[in-house]
């Protein structure tokens, strides 16, 4: 007898919300209050050696096509000015008029514009492909050089369908994160893009309206750190602002759950049982009643795997640091997030809170895109292999492979003719040894290099200070507003107790919570401003900076730390058969390299490092102070745990 087939058009039943009774909620809150009184420090986040920016870099590196949303203070803006003919009489605004009005707009928006980022062009926009400066500008947005665009009017940007479509598509993908006009107020929503499309002589309203129902406002909300249709457990959404607010005892429950996993050795099943017994609940905003959450081990794992809880909003292909955009209060630190996730812990050489012994793939690599094959000029790809046996079992062997099949590394006939038989891969330990050797010769004194370093630091300090001041001003304004609202409801409760219970019950607790959040954000912003007020390094401290980078490379086994130092110092390098003919350092460190002390190989472009040196060199290198090391035979051997 044939089995009956299941119908293919079955409709999934919508999960019904189960409201949390008030008496059960009160009971859970009282139990948590007792635990909190007994151990208040359990709810304070510990210090984290890694920042949200460190983990943002990680997610950006391992997920192709990811776009990092920047706060206004960190965006690089470009001003585009255009006139279509050389006849000034035919122009509505001359280039000088456009320039002055766009700069006035930038000043009003508190946007700093570099002189090199003011682009002028005299060309018609009716036909595409007629404006090389415009094309270069769009490439700058695609490569991340620019993030915001200012122009006098939409018709300065485009009057043809092809380029108009390109611009609007780049707005969709957040490659253009902000668009400002002197004569037109653009809003990044379907209607705003429709109106812009009309001005560009094209329309995208239908597709935008269709996609907004799916994306639920991704383009606009995420870059402001606002709710995008997905409720996060432990937080509710302030209906007036759209920002995520810690949801009282539910936030505390999840913090307890994290502590149980991190420091109590509990597994996800035990944590799920604890959260169910403690009646974890969820609500979208302050006006919605609490609904009971049925927690299982998979949900616990999903919560711990969500970067939202340390402050990184990962939505689609977008990444946004909520702590920079808003006064967001994280549930865990970046270090705790790494420990809670086995794959992350493996990548960063940390011990995981996960009990599984299954081997995981290593996603995070060194020197991404910086290692070039010296035989074929192609970028070499990062790969790794975990050691299965012996004293180094569990560590990772990291190598760079050339994947160009036409490369000399794959041509045995040419190798035999030349008498050179290079391997297809080069171990990372040889490359790191060459970088370390290069750093030892960064001994020149250069006031120009120091000034370049100071200028870079000043720019970063200015950005971070502007963010901290903005967050302080917003928090102080929130504090004043919420204190007034709290006082109003407090008085209303006294004057009209029955009406308060009937129509406004819970408002006092809500505004007290917002007052607490604002007070915390004020404290955090003031502390950040104090930290940023430290003086800039002296010239001598700058020269000693290279030694500090060198010590980091010699001592650390943390891939993130190694990669951060390499990205700061190295522009690119070329690799042959276990040798590094060329290392190019980033400015200003390239001005410190004393080339006279570095042995040269093939002409001026080459500095060859002989890396096949005695085995005792590793111990000597690790246990000798930098100041005492003489030029000679040093290289790093096998690194502990990572290389």
Angle between helices 447-495 and 539-555 (to 10 degrees): 80
**Structural domain contains residue 373:** no
Check whether residue 122 and residue 183 sit in a common domain.
yes
Residues in Cβ contact with 259 at an 8 Å cutoff, skipping those fewer than 6 apart: 42
- CA dihedral over 510, 511, 515, 521, signed as positive or negative: positive
Burial zone of 609 (CB within 10 Å; 0-12 exposed, 13-18 middle, 19+ buried):
buried
For 10, the 3-state DSSP assignment is: coil
Nearest-angstrom CA–CA distance, 370 and 366: 9
Beta strand pairing call for 570-575 and 582-585: antiparallel
Nearest-angstrom CA–CA distance, 294 and 2: 38
Of 301, 279, 298, the C-alpha closest to 290 is 279
Of 143, 145, 228, 219, the C-alpha closest to 186 is 219
Check whether residue 31 and residue 109 sit in a common domain.
no
**Structural domain contains residue 627:** no
Structural domain including 500 reads 448-532
For residue 517, give both structure tokens.
Answer: 């959040």
Check whether residue 209 and residue 75 sit in a common domain.
yes
Q: Give the model's pLDDT for residue 506.
A: 86
Q: Give the model's pLDDT for residue 104.
A: 92
Alpha carbon 35 to its chain centroid, in Å, reads 35
For residue 83, give both structure tokens.
Answer: 């006139």
Check whether residue 94 and residue 196 sit in a common domain.
yes
Nearest-angstrom CA–CA distance, 515 and 556: 42
Q: Give the model's pLDDT for residue 303.
A: 93
Check whether residue 295 and residue 337 sit in a common domain.
yes
Cβ–Cβ under 8 Å, residues 138 and 170: yes
Beta strand pairing call for 582-585 and 425-427: unpaired
**Structural domain contains residue 597:** no
Nearest-angstrom CA–CA distance, 435 and 134: 39
Nearest-angstrom CA–CA distance, 590 and 580: 16
Q: Give the model's pLDDT for residue 554.
A: 83
**Structural domain contains residue 528:** yes
CATH of the domain at 196: 3.40.50.1390
Cβ–Cβ under 8 Å, residues 330 and 311: yes
Check whether residue 111 and residue 189 sit in a common domain.
yes
Check whether residue 92 and residue 48 sit in a common domain.
no
Check whether residue 209 and residue 124 sit in a common domain.
yes
Domain boundary among 511, 532, 553: 532
Cα-based distances in Å from 584 to 370, 387, 548 = 10, 32, 19
Tokens 């999903």 -> residue = 302
**Structural domain contains residue 468:** yes
Q: Give the model's pLDDT for residue 1.
A: 47
Q: Give the model's pLDDT for residue 200.
A: 67
Check whether residue 165 and residue 294 sit in a common domain.
no
Check whether residue 41 and residue 84 sit in a common domain.
no
pTM of the model: 0.72
Residues in Cβ contact with 78 at an 8 Å cutoff, skipping those fewer than 6 apart: 113, 117, 118, 119, 137, 140, 146, 148, 149, 150
Check whether residue 468 and residue 527 sit in a common domain.
yes
Of 411, 412, 442, 427, the C-alpha closest to 371 is 427
* Mean pLDDT, 10 residues at a time, the chain of 643 residues: 54 71 85 86 83 84 80 91 61 76 91 91 69 90 91 81 82 88 79 72 41 46 79 91 90 93 90 94 90 92 92 86 90 89 64 51 73 91 79 78 90 88 87 88 90 91 91 94 94 92 88 92 93 89 90 81 88 86 90 67 40 40 43 37 33
Nearest-angstrom CA–CA distance, 516 and 409: 63
Beta strand pairing call for 318-321 and 371-373: unpaired
User: How is residue 341 annotated by DSSP?
Assistant: -
DSSP per-residue codes, 241-281: T--EEE-HHHHHHHHHHHHHHHTS---HHHHHHHHHHTT-E
| Domains held by the chain: number | 3
- The residues facing 398 across adjacent strands are 384
Cα-based distances in Å from 351 to 53, 277, 365, 385, 424 = 21, 30, 18, 19, 32
Check whether residue 110 and residue 152 sit in a common domain.
yes
For residue 243, give both structure tokens.
Answer: 């920002």
Of 223, 215, 208, 227, the C-alpha closest to 177 is 223
Residues in Cβ contact with 436 at an 8 Å cutoff, skipping those fewer than 6 apart: 550, 553, 554, 621, 634, 636
> Nearest 10 degrees: CA dihedral of 102, 107, 113, 118?
10
**Structural domain contains residue 465:** yes
Nearest-angstrom CA–CA distance, 361 and 350: 14
**Structural domain contains residue 408:** no
Domain boundary among 501, 517, 532: 532
Q: Give the model's pLDDT for residue 95.
A: 83
Tokens 């404006």 -> residue = 131
Of 640, 599, 634, the C-alpha closest to 613 is 634
**Structural domain contains residue 28:** yes
Domain boundary among 502, 532, 562: 532
Q: Give the model's pLDDT for residue 564.
A: 85
């Amino acid at each position: 007898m044939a089995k009956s087939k299941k119908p293919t058009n079955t409709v999934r039943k919508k999960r019904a919300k189960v409201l949390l009774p008030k008496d059960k909620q009160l009971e859970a809150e009282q139990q948590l209050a007792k635990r909190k009184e007994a151990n208040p420090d359990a709810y304070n986040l510990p210090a984290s050696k890694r920042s949200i920016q460190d983990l943002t870099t990680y997610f950006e590196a391992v997920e192709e096509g990811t776009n990092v949303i920047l706060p206004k203070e960190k965006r690089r803006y470009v001003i585009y000015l255009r006139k279509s003919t050389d006849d000034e009489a035919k122009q509505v605004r001359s280039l000088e008029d456009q320039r002055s009005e766009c700069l006035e707009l930038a000043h009003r928006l508190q946007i700093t514009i570099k002189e090199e980022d003011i682009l002028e062009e005299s060309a018609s926009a009716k036909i595409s492909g007629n404006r090389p400066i415009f094309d270069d500008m769009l490439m700058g947005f695609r490569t991340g050089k620019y993030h915001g665009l200012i122009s006098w009017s939409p018709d300065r940007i485009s009057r043809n369908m092809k380029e108009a479509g390109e611009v609007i598509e780049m707005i969709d993908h957040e490659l253009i994160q902000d668009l400002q006009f002197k004569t037109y107020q653009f809003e990044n929503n379907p209607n705003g893009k429709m109106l812009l499309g009309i001005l560009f002589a094209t329309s995208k309203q239908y597709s935008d309206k269709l996609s907004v129902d799916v994306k639920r406002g991704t383009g606009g909300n995420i870059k402001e750190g606002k709710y995008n249709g997905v409720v996060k457990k432990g937080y509710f959404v302030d209906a007036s602002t759209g920002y995520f607010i810690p949801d009282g005892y539910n936030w505390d429950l999840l913090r307890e759950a994290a502590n149980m996993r991190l420091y109590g050795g509990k597994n996800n099943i035990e944590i799920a049982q604890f959260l169910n017994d403690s009646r974890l609940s969820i609500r979208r905003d302050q006006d919605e009643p609490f609904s009971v959450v049925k927690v299982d081990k998979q949900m616990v794992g999903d919560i711990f795997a969500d970067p939202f809880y340390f402050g990184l909003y990962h939505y689609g292909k977008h990444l946004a640091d909520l702590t920079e955009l808003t006064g967001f209060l994280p549930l865990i630190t970046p270090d705790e997030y790494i420990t809670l996730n086995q794959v992350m812990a493996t990548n960063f050489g940390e011990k995981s809170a996960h009990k599984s012994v299954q081997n995981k793939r290593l996603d995070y690599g060194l020197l991404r895109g910086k290692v070039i094959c010296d035989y074929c000029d192609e970028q070499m790809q990062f790969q790794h292999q975990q050691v299965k046996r012996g004293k180094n079992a569990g560590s990772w062997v990291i190598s760079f492979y050339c994947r160009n099949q036409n490369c000399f590394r794959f041509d045995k006939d040419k190798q035999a003719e030349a008498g050179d038989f290079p391997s297809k891969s080069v171990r990372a330990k040889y490359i790191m040894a060459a970088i370390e050797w290069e750093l030892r010769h960064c001994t020149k004194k250069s006031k120009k290099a120091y000034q370049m370093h100071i200028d870079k630091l000043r720019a970063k300090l200015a950005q971070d200070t502007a963010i901290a001041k903005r967050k302080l001003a917003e928090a102080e304004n929130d504090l004043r507003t919420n204190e007034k609202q709290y006082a109003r409801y407090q008085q209303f409760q006294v004057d009209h107790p029955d009406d308060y219970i009937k129509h406004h019950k819970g408002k006092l607790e809500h505004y007290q919570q917002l007052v607490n959040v604002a007070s915390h954000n004020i404290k955090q912003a003031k502390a950040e401003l104090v930290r940023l007020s430290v003086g800039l390094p002296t010239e001598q401290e700058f020269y000693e900076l290279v030694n500090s980078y060198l010590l980091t490379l010699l001592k650390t086994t943390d891939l993130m730390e190694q990669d951060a130092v390499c990205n700061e110092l190295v522009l690119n390098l070329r690799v042959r058969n276990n040798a590094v003919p060329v290392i190019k350092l980033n400015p200003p460190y390239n001005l410190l390299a004393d080339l006279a002390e570095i042995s040269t190989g093939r002409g001026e472009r080459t500095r060859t490092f002989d890396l096949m040196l005695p085995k005792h060199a590793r111990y000597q290198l690790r246990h000798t102070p930098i100041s005492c090391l003489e030029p000679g035979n040093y290289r790093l051997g096998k690194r502990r745990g990572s290389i």
